[in-house]
Amino acid sequence: MASAADQLASGLNLSKFGQATELKKRLWFTLGALIIFRMLSYVPLPGVDPTQLGLLAQRTQGGVLDFFNTFSGGALERMSVIALGVMPYITASIVVQLATSLSPQLAAIKKEGESGRKKLNQYTRYGTVALTAVQGYVIAVGLETLGATQGLAPVVEPGMLFRVAAVISLIGGTMFLMWLGEQITSRGVGNGISLIIMAGIVAHLPTTLVQLFEGGRTGSMNPVTLVAIMAAVAGLVLFICFMERAQRRILIQYPKRQTQRGVQSERSHLPLKINTAGVIPPIFASSLLLMPLTISQFAGQQQAGAGWWGDFIITVNQYLQHGSLVYMLLYGAGIIFFSFFYTAVVFNPEETADNLKRYGGFIPGIRPGKNTEAYFDYVLTRITVIGAAYLTIICLLPEYLVSALAIPFYLGGTSLLIVVNVTMDTVTQIQSHLLAHQYGDLIKKAKLKGGRLR
């Protein structure tokens, strides 16, 4: 009979999935939370006429807001109570993290451990409320003006009462999504905020695929182009999987010690992912673009014909259209910046070097301490350059081609990157739960056998 270690090393046995009660509860909780998210995307703001709003959405299609509408699962297009999604929360978390790096007071709070993390989370929640209130008011005012310019009445009774109700509803919807994401993270499987964003993107994929195949059937799209698109999507998925698994392994050696087999030295590897920041840079860059673009998009309709200021806002909106050069440059710069910023937040070379020195580990040929820290920083900078370039190419090149070929952008690089990355992380967590369940069963069996021997 195989030993416990051999059974564990043989890999995960999916037949044990039905016995993992805790994992099933987590999966059902995650599924239920995502269903609630999708249901809320169909609940309109109070005082909004859904029929008129649908006509308005058809007339104003295109632009960068359609891109962000994907992340909310169509909630922005339907002006639901979760129209802003989790983007204000992400923007607030970016501001808090940047402030932590710049402010000594906030840096000291961060070092307090669990209590410091709770304080920073509370600051993030306050920032989320403020950002949602600003964006919500601009959207409410812009919706009234936009309907008037298009000859429609999406707002039943325009005025201050509608604006206040819209802002309160949007704040409640965003805060509920933030709480829902935290619950998924703690009681479900995977990162809750990332899963909510992925669910919004995946909700549009069936419609997009139907439109693509319908275009090939009716002849509006060349069948060769359709096949090329599907092949490119498959190739992108494989390339993303390859890059997300790519690592730079640094050899770590520990001092020699006396064992039964003689003097032996232990060796291990410190794996550094090529894309250490994961899917965070595109999400952060998108969220930072969302707030000013939302304000300029709706304010442009409100200020149309109102002198030089209105003309300036309209010109800005034209330059920031989805697929434009200025939009691509801003988006790419945001991805590169957050690739380096988030990598610096996740991996601290000084702390890692100190931990190695404390436990007697060292890199062959590198002195412990400052030299090891400098080596970590050197290697991390080089691989982050590759990771940032990979993210920028994946997010921008397909988006440009999609815009140039007038293909629905839901199959763009950013959407695919988020879907594939979040899926891989979720599957990894499921495997970890299965492994922990099997390991627990093996320990129980070993205890039972030990009791019988006594």
SS3 106: helix
Among candidates 125, 156, 162, 120, which has minimal Cα distance to 141?
A: 162
Q: Read out DSSP for 26-53?
A: HHHHHHHHHHHHHHHTT-BPTTB-HHHH
Give the per-residue pLDDT at 6. Answer: 43
CB pairs under 8 A, 24+ apart, for 155-162? 155/47, 155/48, 155/49, 156/47, 156/48, 156/49, 157/47, 161/47, 162/46, 162/47
Specify burial of residue 157 (Cβ count, 10 A radius: 0-12, 13-18, 19+). exposed
Hey, what are 213's tokens?
Answer: 């195949």
Specify burial of residue 345 (Cβ count, 10 A radius: 0-12, 13-18, 19+). middle
Domain, as residue range, for 291: 4-453
Give the per-residue pLDDT at 2. Answer: 41
Cα dist from 13 to 99, 281, 284, whole Å: 46, 35, 37
β-pair type (262-273, 247-259): antiparallel
* CA distance linking residue 83 with residue 322, whole number of Å: 19
Task: Give me the torsion for CA of 75, 76, 82, 87, rounded to 10°.
Answer: 120
Phi, psi for 48 (deg, rounded to 5): -110, 135
Task: Give me the torsion for CA of 385, 241, 335, 167, rounded to 10°.
Answer: -160
Tell whether the torsion through CA atoms of 21, 23, 24 and 30 is positive or negative: positive
Give the per-residue pLDDT at 86. Answer: 86
250: left (phi over 0), alpha (psi -120 to 50) or beta: beta
Considering the entire predicted model, what is its pTM? 0.78
Each of the 454 residues of the chain gets a pLDDT tens digit; together they read 344 444 444 444 555 666 678 888 889 999 999 999 999 988 888 888 878 777 777 766 655 556 666 666 667 777 888 888 888 888 888 888 888 878 888 888 888 878 888 898 899 999 999 999 988 888 888 777 776 666 777 888 888 998 999 999 999 999 999 999 999 998 988 888 889 988 888 887 777 777 777 777 777 777 787 788 788 888 888 999 999 889 888 888 877 665 556 555 677 888 889 998 888 888 888 877 776 666 666 655 555 445 566 666 667 666 666 667 888 888 899 999 999 988 888 888 888 888 888 888 888 888 888 888 899 999 999 999 999 999 999 888 877 776 666 655 456 677 888 888 888 888 888 888 777 767 666 666 666 555 544 4
- Give the CATH number of the domain where residue 139 resides: 1.10.3370.10
Hey, what are 340's tokens?
Answer: 């380096």
* CA distance linking residue 454 with residue 450, whole number of Å: 7
Q: Read out DSSP for 157-170?
A: S-SHHHHHHHHHHH
Cα dist from 78 to 141, 169, 188, 324, whole Å: 16, 14, 28, 25
Count how many residues are written for the chain.
Answer: 454
Cα dist from 159 to 143, 163, 172, 325, 357, whole Å: 11, 6, 20, 37, 65
Give the per-residue pLDDT at 388. Answer: 93
76, 63 Cβ separation under 8 angstroms: no
Give the per-residue pLDDT at 4. Answer: 40
Among candidates 300, 289, 291, which has minimal Cα distance to 84?
A: 291
- Domains held by the chain: number: 1
Hey, what are 309's tokens?
Answer: 């200021």
Between helix 370-405 and helix 223-245 the angle, nearest 10°, is: 170
- Going by C-beta distance under 8 Å and a sequence separation of 6 or more, which residues neighbour residue 415? 70, 201, 409
